[in-house]
Amino acid sequence: MNANHQRLCNSPEWAEHLREEILPRLLNGIELGDEMLELGPGPGGATEVLRKRVRHLTALELDEAAARVLADRLSGNDVTVIHGDCVRTGLPDASFDSIGAFTMLHHIPTDVHQHAALAEAFRLLKPGGVLIGSDSLASNDLHHFHVNDTYNPVEPAWLMTQLLALGFQPIAVTVGEYD
């Protein structure tokens, strides 16, 4: 993660944006169940909201230092932080009622790896489980913001195709701003 990205993701403003803008829209009317997996929590801006909506939250973070910091901060809560890769989690099949991926899919370096992460999420969900997430649309500004960082934006049509091919249903993909 480059310095720009590090600064933004660790900022109180980003945590507030997740808490006040992104998550309320996504979670409105969605039942997350008891057991949830959050993929790529980074510093945990979404984690703070999610842990209050489920009995137990598991946060899977690729960056070992970020995982350690998040685990230390959330010690004593109903959150388990694991250092690991969302493409190969090593977690048992059908372990979670819900899985969340919030502004992290564009950090997965290739379409093949993104597909593998979605396939892993499908494997980890209990029957009837829900995958919920958000990401940014590709833009020149975001491309420049991610200089010297992984930036592989997820096109909505590609995402829909992948989810259908993996067996997710029903599927809703929303594009653009909404109120």
Measured between alpha carbons, how far is 60 from 170 in angstroms, rounded to an integer? Answer: 25
Tokens of 99: 């899985």
Each as own residue / partner, the long-range contacts of residues 77-86 (CB below 8 Å, 24 or more positions apart, any chain) are 77/51, 78/51, 78/54, 79/47, 79/51, 80/56, 81/41, 82/58, 84/60, 86/39, 86/40, 86/60, 86/62, 86/117, 86/120, 86/121
pLDDT per residue, tens digit, the chain (179 aa), is 666 556 667 777 888 888 898 899 999 999 999 999 999 999 999 999 999 999 999 999 999 999 999 999 998 889 999 999 999 999 999 999 999 999 899 899 999 999 999 999 999 999 999 999 998 876 677 656 666 677 888 999 999 999 999 999 999 998 876 54
Instruction: Report the predicted TM-score, pTM, of the whole model to 2 decimal places.
Output: 0.91
